[in-house]
Amino acid sequence: MVRFAILGTGRIGAMHAGIVARQPDAAVTWCYDVDHDRAAACAAQVGGRASTDVDAILAADDVDAVLIASPTNTHVDLILKSAAAGKPILCEKPIDVDLAKVEACRAALADFDVPLQLGFNRRFDPSHRAVRDAVAAGEIGALELLVITSRDPGPPPPRAILEACGGLFRDTSIHDFDMARFVLGEEVTEVYAMAANRVDPVFAELGDVDTAMIVMRSASGALVHVNNSRRTNYGYDQRVEAFGADGMVRSNNHRPSEVSRHGDQATAARTPLLHFFIERYAAAYEAEIRDFIDMLAAGGRPSVTFDDGHRALLLSEAALQSYRENRPVTVAEI
Q: Where are the alpha helices (DSSP H) in 117-167?
A: 126-136, 159-164
Instruction: Provide the minimum distance between the beta carbon of 151 and a copy of itself in the complex, in angstroms, as a whole number.
Output: 7
Q: Which of residues 135-174 bind a copy of itself (CB under 8 A)?
A: 139, 142, 144-145, 147, 149, 151
Q: Which of residues 5-34 bind a copy of itself (CB under 8 A)?
A: 22, 24
Decide whether 251 or 316 has the Cβ nearer to a copy of itself. Answer: 251
Q: Which of residues 110-139 bind a copy of itself (CB under 8 A)?
A: 126-127, 129-131, 134, 139
Q: How far apart are CA 288 and CA 281, in angstroms?
A: 10
Q: How far apart are CA 334 and CA 315, in angstroms?
A: 9
Decide whether 49 or 198 has the Cβ nearer to a copy of itself. Answer: 198
**Binding segment toward a copy of itself, per CB under 8 A, in 9-17, 78-86, 116-124, 188-196:** 188-196
Q: What DSSP line would sit under 29-83, residue for residue?
A: EEEE-SSHHHHHHHHHHH-SEEES-HHHHHH-TT-SEEEE-S-GGGHHHHHHHHH
Q: Which of residues 271-290 bind a copy of itself (CB under 8 A)?
A: 271-273
Q: How far apart are CA 222 and CA 209, in angstroms?
A: 27
Q: Which of residues 72-91 bind a copy of itself (CB under 8 A)?
A: none
Q: Which of residues 197-256 bind a copy of itself (CB under 8 A)?
A: 198-199, 211-217, 221-225, 227, 229, 231-235, 237, 243, 245-256
What is residue 232's three-state secondary structure? Answer: strand
Q: How far apart are CA 166 and CA 144, in angstroms?
A: 31
Residue 100's Cβ-side half-sphere holds a number of Cα atoms within 13 Å equal to: 0
Decide whether 82 or 121 has the Cβ nearer to a copy of itself. Answer: 121
Decide whether 207 or 299 has the Cβ nearer to a copy of itself. Answer: 207
Phi, psi of 194 (to 5 degrees): -105, 145
Instruction: Provide the minimum distance between the beta carbon of 7 and a copy of itself in the complex, in angstroms, as a whole number.
Output: 22
Decide whether 106 or 198 has the Cβ nearer to a copy of itself. Answer: 198
